[in-house]
Structure 1
């Protein structure tokens, strides 16, 4: 069946208010609006086109050109996202995420805004460009709700968007943990864009599970713990699957959450229902001997209409 293009200008127009509100990195067209074939993100004036269906070379070119014809788009980068790519790290990486634009001008680095906060984005660097736009409401919640002067632990930090928002919200101390030195250094660059100090001691390199055990052993406690794990990963601790292992992660996080502190638990696993996610988290807290009072439920932003993959729950621990 030939590729049928939706009305991309009309979809982009639905998000026209976002730049005026200080957000220039957002989803311009979600898969629910394109028949599941593709998604388009805007990162400043760079378009990032993600394909979820096999298209011919001619169809890819046609689609990229249609995205490039949108107002304000200088270049278009392509990300091919077949299902198997989600579990095949470093396989055919340049085919999955070509480093050069497939249409228009190159934008190796772009500084774009989210709710007025600048982020350094790299549209051609990899499948992930530096910020997951679906979690914008969650980062806003952190900035608004973080206890002033409190201690925050941001796990699976990636480029430290949650940690940065916690610091901007008035946290007294923020620790960002990730298994990649590269993304932690990227996070330090994001801190610098907002004029915030970024000492190496606040960017903890290593396996999150090991760090949670280490922090608990030395008696560290945090007023807010942020859990943003991938759905699937391989690491020193073995294979991680959110649908099987989230309770174990919640238990470790509970061990470093101060009494009265809050846990922001989230998952982007589309196959994990909200009810199952809540049961797993509750069980994990119980395993750690803690009781949690569920609070706000959060999800993806308005630029993800009909999306149900991202689920987040705030817990206050006794």
Structure 2
């Protein structure tokens, strides 16, 4: 049974300082606070109820209503996330991520803020709504440490690209296999009045682009790696626990001497030590020396979370 949000001190209340500080997209309730049953994300006045255990329709409705009352939401969308969701996303999309809210008014698109920076969020669009809130500390790090040239791989809607550009980076290249999300990223750039030429949004396979950039002799001061934990394509199956060293090696090949790799891994089954070993193996494969300079994790709205590993590697 899900933990009710009608508790006298619901987790939503403990996040009140986030919107007060200019962040209106965040995790209002994390799974560690609900026994792993659900999590609630908030984007403006829209809620995203993430279900990790099956509930009867009436219970989904009740929980959505509780979420709305606790967080002051106009509408709540549901994302059903069973363990096999990553395999079902393309064949059961409408069941996993219904396009309409299960409670309240539709909010097909909202503009939400992260540290005062606006982003386009589409609560009913897919299992991913436009921004991964657990990576907020990593985006803040990049904005605070943005160098001249940044390569943002697996860019999705280009949150890291926006952070780098706002931090003063002169050149930011965003790479993703989806034209749709790159166009979404250009919308995010426009919201912050940033220039968004098509040449900075590179459509295609990340490994293919890393090879191409290396052959061209392009190098970057920071390379952002934020791959999925698992994906399937015509080229085969990607598993982060197996394939991250090769990705790190390809990133190292386009990282300038003295540059850094901002490496992220969202995978609960790989701990920080194993992730560090994968990164070191990739550097060795590339023939590059590097030092782990900093570790980051998920934001404060993810209490007890260990799924996200973020490591900053400085390369010689």
TM-score interval (norm. to shorter)? over 0.9
RMSD value over aligned CA atoms? 1.1
Q: Structure 2 vs 1, CA of residues 15 and 76 (structure 1 numbering), >3 Å: closer, same or farther?
A: same
The answer to whether 1:286 aligns with 2:284 is yes
Q: Counterpart of 2:249?
A: 251
69-78 vs 206-215, which moves further: 69-78
Q: 1:209 to 1:48 in 2, by over 3 A?
A: same
Match of 1:186 in 2: 184
Q: Is the 8 A contact 2:112 2:118 kept in 1?
A: yes
Partner of 1:296: 294
Q: Distance in 2 between matches of 1:88 and 1:217?
A: 37
Query: Secondary structure of 1:185's partner?
Result: helix
3-state SS of 1:229 partner: coil
Aligned residue for 1:95?
A: 95
The DSSP-based 3-state class of the residue aligned with 2:70 is: coil
Distance 1:138 1:129 in 2: 18
Aligned to 1:136: 136
Contact 1:207 1:236 in 2 (8 A): no
TM-score by length of 1: 0.97
Aligned residue for 1:5?
4
1: CA distance, partners of 2:11 / 2:3: 15
- Within 5 Å, give how 1:97-246 maps onto structure 2: 97-147=97-147, 150-246=148-244
Aligned length: 315
Write the mapping of 1:17-96 to structure 2, written as runs, cut at 5 A. 17-96=17-96
Q: Is the 8 A contact 1:87 1:232 kept in 2?
A: no
**Whole-angstrom CA distance in 2 between matches of 1:167 and 1:309:** 27
By how many angstroms is 1:238 displaced? Answer: 2.0
Asked whether the equivalents of residues 232 and 241 of structure 1 are also in contact (C-alpha less than 8 Å), the reply is yes
Q: Please say if residues 47 and 73 of structure 1, whose CA atoms lie closer than 8 Å, have aligned partners that are also in contact.
A: yes
In structure 2, C-alpha distance between the alignment counterparts of 1:261 and 1:171, rounded to whole Å: 14
Indicate conservation of the 8 Å contact 2:5/2:66, yes or no.
no
The separation in 1 between residues aligned to 2:61 and 2:5, in whole angstroms, is 16
2:49 is paired with a residue of what secondary structure?
strand
1:3 deviation in Å? 4.4
Counterpart in 1 of 2:308? Answer: 310
Task: Give the C-alpha shift of residue 78 in structure 1.
Answer: 0.5
Please tell me whether the aligned partners of residues 89 and 96 of structure 2 are also in contact (alpha carbons under 8 angstroms): no
CA contact (8 A) 1:209 1:237 kept: no
Is the contact made by 2:76 and 2:104 (CA closer than 8 Å) also made in structure 1? yes
Indicate the larger mover: 90-99 or 166-175.
90-99
Q: In the alignment, is the contact (CA less than 8 A) between 2:6 and 2:70 conserved in 1?
A: no
Higher mean displacement: 80-89 or 182-191: 80-89
Q: 1:253 to 1:3 in 2, by over 3 A?
A: closer
Instruction: Structure 2: state its 5+ residue gaps.
Output: none
In structure 2, C-alpha distance between the alignment counterparts of 1:132 and 1:97, rounded to whole Å: 16
Distance apart, 1:7 and its partner CA:
4.4
TM-score normalised over the length of structure 2: 0.98
Say whether the 8 Å CA contact 1:228–1:267 is kept in structure 2: yes
Q: Secondary structure at the match of 2:185?
A: helix
- Equivalent-residue separation in structure 2 for 1:233 and 1:10 (angstroms): 35
CA distance in 1, matches of 2:71, 2:60: 20
Stretches of structure 1 that go unaligned for 5 or more consecutive residues are none
Aligned to 1:99, what secondary structure does the other structure show?
coil
Q: 2:96, 2:254 → 1: CA distance?
A: 38
Q: Distance in 2 between matches of 1:71 and 1:50?
A: 15
